[in-house]
Structure 1
Amino acid sequence: MATIEDIYQLYLQHPTISTDTRKIAPGSLFFALKGDKFNANTFAEKAIEAGAAYAIIDNPEYAMGEKYILVADGLTALQNLAAHHRRQLDIPVIGLTGTNGKTTTKELINAILSQRFNTLATEGNLNNHIGVPLTLLKINASHEMAVIEMGANHQKEIELLCNIAQPTHGLITNVGKAHLEGFGGVEGVRKGKGEMYDYLGRAENNAVAFINSDDTLLSAMKKERGLTNVIYYGKNDDPNNIISGKLLDSSPLLVLEWTDNLEGGSYTVSTHLTGSYNLDNILVAICIGSTFGLTPEEISDGIAGYEPTNNRSQIQRTVTNTLICDFYNANPSSMFVAIDNMDKMQGSHKVMILGDMFEMGPESATEHLLVLQKAMAADVQERIFIGKDFAAANSSMDNGPWTMDEKPTFYLTAEDAMAGLKANPISNATVLIKGSRGMALERLVGLF
């Protein structure tokens, strides 16, 4: 069987990785990965025919010549290759995880660092046990920095991704209620996300942790592990913060003032982001930019120039409405901050459209009820809930203590909601649309 060094020599000659025969890059290395419903070994010959230079397979039945490289396990080989490649790189690698805000924070960090450095960042949501290796294997000699997003839905996954990416700097955006089923409850989430701090805190890694001093849970997790190589940021006046900031406006786009507490000086930036909860994400990106020596002008330009395009905190204006498109995903923690944001936002006609949250496990009924109650207490004029879990939560409250003026609307499916919105169109409103990815609430956008 081939060793990782053998495969790495092939990679140096063919530094493009393919895992999908529908998207084979000519001259690439094709890794035959397996899933619950597929075995890409069966497509190895097709990959070679489509132009792949070599196929990395883990089933000897499909070894049909010198272009077929046999390994014990295709996924493990991909991960080990990425880790080996990472060890050859002498550049800063910033790793980040967290319950909410990972992708936005990653993109903000990249937007700032790219003002001066040739930076490679995770594309889209390629943040899992396959996506992280694929991202690392895109780093070439021209790159000066990398920003690697790490997602997880169970314990030990962040540990694995850190061992592959070997970050020199890292952060946890926050720890909240998401993937409760896979993590085994809230404490499991805390332990799983804490694997980032575990890695950064190892003496041999000598890595830096960026920590939000406003977040008491992250501070406790830092203290539990005895982290000492820490850089702080936050909204408060903690003397340890090298960067602090505050919002000047948030209706709906954020305008903030940030302060460099080391050099002195405060700077005002207008952004294309909505949601007051994004201030923390912006501040850590500023903190990282400052740590790597960017000027205040470069930092502010990076923040001001970033425009979200990923249905996370994204503003979309139609002829008659302003939409807050936040339907890439949802969990109780992100629902709460989104509802808080709508509650505080100015506007004479505010509408919340909330879809079911997935992967909640045994906590699902309780968490949907809590979100429902919070939404009903918010200062908005209309509330629409979509999905069987919100409907069940409403039934558990015996239709709730709603007055006729505030009575919410419930739809069992997105299709039902689409029909309802066509019959009762919304206009001249600020509308939040948020739900789990499986709800596919992007289908509602065209109705506004």
Structure 2
Amino acid sequence: MYNLQQIADIGNSKFIGGTNNKVRVFLNDSRALQSPVDTLFIALKTNRNNGHNYIPELIERGVRSFLIQQNEFDVSKFKNANVSFLISADPLKTIQTLAAYHRKQFTIPVIGITGSNGKTVVKEWLYQLLKTNFSICRSPKSYNSQIGVPLSVLNLNHTHTLAIFEAGISLPMEMDVLAEIISPTIGVFTSIGSAHDEGFASREQKINEKLKLISSCDKKIINGLHKHQLTPEILKQALIVSEFDDADLRTSYVNDTLELKGPAADHHFKIPFSDKASVLNTSTCAAVLMQMGFKENDIAQRILSLQPVALRLEIKNGINNALIINDYYNSDIDSIKIALNYLSQQNRRVRKIVIVSDLEQSGILANSLYKQLAELFSQNKIDLVVGIGKEISNHKPLFKSNSLFFADTQSFINQFKIINYQFSEASILLKGARSFGFENISRLLQLKSHDTVFEIDLNKLINNVNYYKSLVSSNVKLMCMVKAMGYGSGGAEIAKTLQHIGVNYLAVAYADEGVELRQSQITLPIMVMSPEEDALEDIINYQLEPEIYSFKVLNAFVKKLDALGITEPYPIHLKIDTGMHRLGFEEKDLENLISELKNFPQLKVRSVFSHLVGTDNAALDDFTNEQIRIFEKTYSAFELTLGYTVLKHICNSGGISRFKNAHYDMVRLGIGMYGIGVHEEEQSKLENVGSLITRISQIKQVDKAQTVGYNRNGKLEKDTTIATIPIGYADGFSRMLGNGNHGVYIAGKFCKTVGNICMDMCMVDITGMDCKEGDEVIIFENAEQINKMAAALNSISYEVLTNVSARVKRVYVQE
């Protein structure tokens, strides 16, 4: 596409290096590296991270081209490493300038999409509706930011005949940059909502800033705004779609039919969705096609074939200790690249397998398309490729010799018993077009379980971690607590995500939890908070780091090191009791402790820490401050005597936000990471990570003369409709929640329990509700519901989360 000198000339940067490398891939996330030789790594420095820190590792992995910020990286160390650099005052500005230049090389129609909600869905649906007519370049996933947009536009090449890009902003003036890069010919505004309100002086300002993207478009489609909210300039060549009376196309939805009422004619489209957001997004898409000149009958047929957009991947445990990654909603080359990147990050199994269907039409000759696919699989070191479909089967000579091919999904299912041994101990990506019905393959591969699932949203976990990162300075390390099966969320999967986003330390309660993480390919340092004597050998063998809280544990660990012949200094963490009075050395022990440590050269104190008692309780702030005073006195004595610096940490989740003077070298993030805040303001910044969900098994009409459940405790005062749901105390839904003491949420309504909670199920009152068997039941999905359940148990949110039993299937989702 471009060589480094061309990029330097276009982007106002300086080229240093012996080789003017050609660049085909632009990358700003070191973890997504696939093709090192032709990749340009863009090192961005932000408040939360610094891309320059990853350059040495990327050089080791074969990357030879880097765009760096002036004075952020010493290039002299790599003069003889066959590496070239572009040095810029602002790497982000350089890549944005290059993308704007690149866009100007194309005269194809470009659809630019903005708005508060629905951007990604509208983009993907327009792709579905138009892919038979155009070779389309579109934004990957939700690449709509200041870096995401230029990376999307730089994917444009000569094979494309249409582009669809989305743009999102959170501050004034950001759209000016994105509008220049995208330069859309057709502008789409999807909706206005509360997202990012805090970044603007008013809702009116936010609307006007977003509309900058489409202001100069030949055609504009605007949904959800009144005409009086728009300037005369915007109204030129604009088609206004909304429920409002002043719309050019007024929308309504009745009996599966979307109606667009216009001044000259009404338009009717049967649509395969009924929720309000989907109706809104479908109306936007229909209006775009109308503006592009498609006939009503043609639009109607295309809309009927619309498929739901999966905005996130599902990760499930599979048979034969496999891990199943479901992404079977589309099968085009761009989405496959994204999915392969995700698969490469999931190195929790020995092997990597991809089951892929025929690719969607792309405007590329079939032989070139499948050759590109085979190269992608080779670059990503896929151990086994399973191709399903006549087209991919026709190109099997392009793939590895051990690849398997089947004419259709049913053929694969019919032969699975013969070949299932090949799918053990593997991470398996399912990537297929909707028409191939890969959900049937997913059901075949995944572990069987009952209808109750604990759904873990890894994107929300990442957002919560990033929130706490924003509260500490860049030199403060982050230790994340993944004990108790990751607070019920699944230790290995949570740890894998935390390792991926670059936290510094993990902590578990017991050694076996740490061993499980090591066996799941977790390489981060792991502190064991309760190192039992029988587990000390495992701690050493798996390179875990024990918390030393007493002389007994100290001497036992040294004895074990000696028995195993370990002479190199082994990292330990010293626990100081400053007022919890649970575990730890007290002030009176310090002199003897320091003396003992001098006699043990095989030990290296990695950190000194303590545990605050009441950071979430303002009434205990004086006591907390006294704990901090004692801790500071203690660690100063250690450092003075040991002769080297150790990490200091005392803040838990509540302490991070409330005691910023005590962040020291590291903070420990626990319950806050999972979405539970210490006060209302903090809670508003967090997202609940885990949702406990089940379904109605059976519905019964029970008259008031009857009772419900064991011991006839469920006494009825009126004729009642009872729903039985498959969750009981063996799943973590305590018996204390029975007999009306708590309930569940069905269709947004709180339904109280009736009678005793059984081991595997319970009964709830759904009288007067329009429910049917199989309907979804929410046990909890947000912090408020978790806290209400905790109150009913006379307990705390920690217990609610950790009580979800291991037999409840964990399903991991990630965008």
| TM-score interval, smaller chain | 0.5 to 0.7
Give 1:28 shift: 1.9
Aligned to 2:142: 125
Verify: 1:380 aligned to 2:744, yes or no: no
1:82 maps to a residue whose letter is A
Listed as ranges, the gaps of 5+ residues in structure 1 are: 250-254, 330-354, 369-375, 395-406, 426-440
What amino acid sits opposite 1:194 in the alignment?
N
Matched, 1:208 2:577: no
Counterpart-to-counterpart distance in 2, 1:410 and 1:147: 53
Instruction: Choose 1 or 2 for highest CA Rg.
Output: 2
User: 1:115/1:267 Cα in 2 relative to 1: closer, same or farther (>3 Å)?
Assistant: farther
Give the aligned partner of residue 342 of structure 1: none
Does 2:252 align with 1:246? yes
Q: Single out whichever of 302-311 and 117-126 deviates more from structure 2.
A: 302-311
| 1:135-176 CA distance string (max 9 Å, x none) | 111111111222212222333323332232222222332222
What TM-score does the superposition give when structure 2 sets the normalisation length? 0.38
Paired with 1:307 and 1:195, the residues of 2 have a C-alpha distance of: 30
| Equivalent residue number for residue 311 of structure 2 | 310
> For 1:142 and 1:158, how far apart are their aligned partners in 2?
28
Establish whether residue 223 from structure 1 lines up as the match of residue 231 from structure 2.
yes
- 2:585 corresponds in structure 1 to none
Task: Give 3-state SS (helix, strand or coil) of 2:221's partner.
Answer: strand
SS at match of 1:154: coil
Aligned counterpart in structure 2 of residue 114 of structure 1, from 131, 134, 141: 131
Unaligned runs of 5+ in 2: 314-328, 330-438, 444-448, 461-673, 688-744, 752-777
The 5 A counterparts of 1:395-410 are none
Matching residue of 2:299 = 299
**Displacement of 1:114 after TM fit?**
1.8
Residue type of the alignment partner of 1:223: T
The residue aligned with 2:205 is 191
Taking CA–CA contacts closer than 8 Å with sequence separation of 6 or more, which of the two structures ends up with the larger relative contact order?
A: 1
Alpha-carbon offset, residue 97 of structure 1: 2.1
- Confirm or deny: 8 A CA contact 2:114 2:188 kept in the other structure: yes
> More displaced, 291-300 or 85-94?
291-300
Partner Cα distance (1:282, 1:206) in 2:
21
Task: In structure 2, give the amino acid aligned to 1:248.
Answer: V
Match of 2:42 in 1: 31
Letter of the 1:215 counterpart: L
Q: Distance in 2 between matches of 1:149 and 1:385?
A: 33
Shift of 1:198: 3.2
2:290 counterpart letter in structure 1: S
C-alpha spacing 1:292/1:323, structure 2 compared with 1 (3 Å): farther
Query: What code does the residue aligned with 2:157 have?
Result: N
Contact 2:786 2:800 in 1 (8 A): no
Which residue in 2 is equivalent to 1:438? Answer: none
Distance 1:410 1:420, change over 3 A: farther
Query: Matches of 2:179 and 2:195 in 1, distance apart?
Result: 20
Distance 2:133 2:795 in 1: 49
CA change 1:193–1:150 in 2 (3 A) is farther
Amino acid at match of 1:61: D
Mapped partners of 2:682, 2:229: distance in 1: 24
> Aligned partners of 2:179, 2:75: CA distance in 1, in Å?
32
Q: CA deviation at 1:46?
A: 3.9
Residue 155 of structure 2, aligned match among 138, 141, 160: 138
Is 2:17 aligned against 1:17? no
Closer/same/farther in 2, CA of residues 295 and 190 from structure 1, 3 Å limit: same
- Structure 2 contact 219–238 (Cα < 8 Å) conserved: yes
Paired position in structure 2 for 1:101: 118
The question of 1:275 aligning with 2:278 is answered: no
2:191 aligned partner: 174
Q: What is the rounded CA distance, in whole Å, between the counterparts of 1:129 and 1:408 in structure 2?
A: 46
Partner of residue 435, structure 1: none
Asked if the contact 1:15–1:137 (Cα under 8 Å) also holds between the matched residues in 2, the reply is no
Q: What is the one-letter code of the residue matched to 1:27?
A: D
Tell me if structure 1 keeps the 8 A contact 2:169–2:210.
no
Contact 2:14 2:87 in 1 (8 A): no
Q: TM-score, normalised by structure 1?
A: 0.64
1:363 to 1:43, Cα distance in 2 relative to 1, 3 A: closer
Matched residue type, 1:176: G
1:385–1:408 Cα contact (<8 Å) kept: no
Aligned partner of 2:175 among 139, 158, 161: 158
Look up the match of 1:3: 9
CA RMSD across the alignment: 4.9
Q: How many correspondences in the alignment? A: 368
Pairing partner for 1:81 from 98, 111, 125: 98
Instruction: Sort the Cα spacing of 1:199 and 1:307 in 2 relative to 1 into closer, same or farther, 3 A.
Output: closer
In 2: Cα distance, 1:410 partner to 1:189 partner: 42
Further displaced range: 167-176 or 128-137? 167-176
Instruction: Single out whichever of 38-47 and 414-423 deviates more from structure 2.
Output: 414-423
Shift of 1:11: 11
Instruction: Tell me what 2:287 maps to.
Output: 287
Native 8 Å contact 2:786 2:797 kept in 1 = no
| Aligned-partner SS, 2:111 | strand
Q: Which residue identity does 1:196 align to in structure 2?
A: K
Paired residues of 2:12 and 2:94 also in contact (CA < 8 A)? no
1:43 is displaced (CA, Å) by: 3.1
What is the distance in 2 between the residues matched to 1:264 and 1:8?
Answer: 59
Q: Distance in 2 between matches of 1:38 and 1:154?
A: 20
CA distance in 1, matches of 2:21, 2:115: 33
Give the distance between the partners of 2:220 and 2:792, measured in 1 at CA.
44
Q: Distance in 2 between matches of 1:411 and 1:151?
A: 41
1:403: which partner in 2?
A: none
Q: Secondary structure at the match of 1:200?
A: coil
Give the alignment of 1:351-370 within 5 angstroms.
Answer: none
* Range with greater deviation from structure 2 (155-164 or 76-85): 155-164
Give the counterpart letter for 1:309 in structure 2: A
The 1:152/1:200 distance shift into structure 2, 3 A limit, reads closer
Tell me which of 796, 800, 808 is aligned to 1:416: 800
Separation (CA, whole Å) in 2 of partners of 1:43 and 1:146:
32
Following superposition, the deviation at residue 287 of structure 1 comes to 0.9
Equivalent position of 1:431 in the other structure: none
The verdict on how the C-alpha distance between 1:421 and 1:297 changes in structure 2, with shifts beyond 3 A counting, is farther
Per-residue CA deviations over 1:304-333 (Å, capped at 9, x if unaligned) read: 232221259x9x99976999999978xxxx
Q: How far off its partner does 1:50 sit?
A: 3.0
Per-residue CA distance 1:39-71 (angstroms, 9 max, x = gap) = 323433543443435222224622534622222
Cα distance in structure 2, aligned partners of 1:91 and 1:409: 62
1:86: how far off?
1.3
Using the aligned pairs only, state the percent identity. 22
Moved more, 232-241 or 159-168: 232-241
Q: 1:172 to 1:239 in 2, by over 3 A?
A: closer
Query: Alpha carbons of 1:240 and 1:143: their partners in 2 closer, same or farther (altered >3 Å)?
Result: same
For 1:54, give the aligned amino acid.
Answer: S
SS in 2 for 1:29: strand
SS at match of 2:54: helix
* 1:416 to 1:170, Cα distance in 2 relative to 1, 3 A: farther
Q: Which amino acid aligns with 2:210?
A: M
1 CA distance for matches of 2:195 and 2:795? 23
